[in-house]
Amino acid sequence: MLLFAGIPAYKIGGHGELKIEKVSVVRYEKPYYSVKKAILDCGGSEYFRPGMRVFIKPNIVFWTRSCPFPKWGVITTSRVIEDTVVLLKEYGIDDITIGEGIVADPRDEKTPAHAFESLGYNRLSERYGIKRINIMKRPFKDIELENGVYLKFNQDILESDFLINIPVLKSHNQTVVSLGLKNLKGTINFASRKKCHSPDPNHDLHYYISRIADPMPPALTVIDGIYSLERGPAFDGKMRRSNLLVASPDILSADMVGAKLLGHEPSNVSHLARAAARSGRPADLSDLEISGENIEEISSYHEYDFAYLSDDRGEMPGALARQGLQGLFYRKFDDTMCTYCSGLNGLILAAIRQAWQGEPWDNVEVLTGKKMEPSPGMGATILIGQCMHKKNRKHPNIEKMLAIKGCPPDPQEIVDVFKQAGIELDPGLFEQADQLPGFFMSRYEDNPDFDESFFRVG
pLDDT tens per residue, range 238-276: 999 999 999 999 999 999 999 999 999 999 999 999 999
Question: How far, in Å, CA of 171 to CA of 448, rounded?
Answer: 23
Q: Is there a cis peptide before residue 199, judged by omega within 30 degrees of 0?
A: no
Question: How far, in Å, CA of 6 to CA of 3, rounded?
Answer: 6
The yes-or-no verdict on residue 162 having pLDDT over 70 is: yes
What local confidence, expressed as pLDDT, does residue 9 receive? 39
Tally the C-alpha atoms within 13 A of residue 157's C-alpha that lie toward its C-beta.
35
Banded model confidence at residue 17, pLDDT cuts 50, 70, 90: low
Question: How far, in Å, CA of 456 to CA of 117, rounded?
Answer: 10
Q: What radius of gyration, in Å, describes the C-alpha atoms of the chain?
A: 22
The yes-or-no verdict on residue 406 having pLDDT over 90 is: no
Banded model confidence at residue 178, pLDDT cuts 50, 70, 90: very high
What local confidence, expressed as pLDDT, does residue 5 receive? 42
Which fold is adopted by the domain 2-303? Rossmann fold (3.40.50)
Distance spanning both ends of the chain, measured CA to CA: 44
SS3 73: coil
Banded model confidence at residue 285, pLDDT cuts 50, 70, 90: very high
Q: Is the Cβ–Cβ distance between 85 and 43 less than 8 Å?
A: no
List pLDDT tens digits, range 209-247. Answer: 999 999 999 999 999 999 999 988 888 889 999 999 999
* Pairs from 424-429 (Cβ < 8 Å, separation ≥ 24): 424/355, 425/348, 425/351, 425/352, 425/354, 425/355, 426/351, 426/354, 426/355, 429/347, 429/350, 429/351, 429/354
Burial degree of 175 (CB within 10 A; 0-12, 13-18, 19+): buried
Whether this prediction's pTM lies above 0.75 is answered by yes
What local confidence, expressed as pLDDT, does residue 422 receive? 94
Q: Which of 436, 341, 409, 396 is nearest to 70 (CA)?
A: 436
Q: Is the Cβ–Cβ distance between 72 and 239 less than 8 Å?
A: yes
Banded model confidence at residue 104, pLDDT cuts 50, 70, 90: low
How many Cβ atoms are within 10 Å of 156's Cβ, its own excluded? Answer: 19
Banded model confidence at residue 66, pLDDT cuts 50, 70, 90: confident
User: Which helix (H) or strand (E) covers residue 153, if one does?
Assistant: strand 149-154
Domain boundaries defined on the chain: 2-303, 308-425
- The DSSP secondary-structure symbol of 202 reads T
Tally the C-alpha atoms within 13 A of residue 41's C-alpha that lie toward its C-beta.
20
Pairing between β-strand 162-165 and β-strand 176-178 as defined by DSSP bridges:
unpaired
Q: Is the Cβ–Cβ distance between 285 and 153 less than 8 Å?
A: no
The yes-or-no verdict on residue 181 having pLDDT over 90 is: yes
Q: Is there a cis peptide before residue 233, judged by omega within 30 degrees of 0?
A: yes
Q: What are φ and ψ of residue 44, in 5° steps?
A: -65, -35
Q: Which of 254, 247, 239 is nearest to 28 (CA)?
A: 247
Q: Which residue has the higher pLDDT, 438 or 361?
A: 361
SS3 440: helix
